[in-house]
Amino acid sequence: MEKVKELVIARTNSLNLTIILEDIHLKMKVRTKK
């Protein structure tokens, strides 16, 4: 059961990281347009 919990946490963390990276990417895109 612990292994499943760790897997879920790892997946959530990677998902959050992807969202953060995409957010930064979008902000940089907006900045270069100006």
Query: CA-to-CA distance for 8 and 18, rounded, in angstroms?
Result: 15
Which tokens in the block code for residue 23?
A: 């957010």
Residue with tokens 């957010």: 23
Residues 4-32: tens digit of each pLDDT: 999 999 999 999 999 999 999 999 998 88
- CA dist list (Å): 6 to 1, 16, 27, 29, 33: 9, 15, 32, 35, 41
Query: CA-to-CA distance for 13 and 10, rounded, in angstroms?
Result: 5
What does the pLDDT read at residue 5?
A: 95
What does the pLDDT read at residue 34?
A: 62
